[in-house]
Amino acid sequence: MTKRYQQLTSEQRCQISVLIKSGLSQREIAAAIGVSQSTISRELARNTGERGYRHKQAQSKAAVRRN
């Protein structure tokens, strides 16, 4: 059985933002939204800047990568 990659949805990115602000760890966030911890790690590495994780910006950057 092959695992299939699915991009994070806008809702999942919004949840990540809220859970980060509430102080959860990457592992806890992953469990809460049903993805692997490495997915959360990559998402935060790509989309965290001086002003922290910004889910709307992350979603627009993902749309550009899709095209």
53 in Cβ contact with 39 (< 8 Å): no
Looking at residue 6, what is its pLDDT? Answer: 78
25 in Cβ contact with 43 (< 8 Å): no
Residue 53's DSSP bridge partners are 48
pLDDT tens digits, 23-55: 999 999 999 999 999 999 999 999 999 999 998
Terminal alpha carbon distance of the chain: 28
- In the numeric block, the tokens 């910004």 are attached to 54
* Distance between CA atoms of residues 30 and 66, nearest Å: 22
Total-model pTM: 0.84
- Domains of the chain: residue spans and CATH: 10-66 (1.10.10)
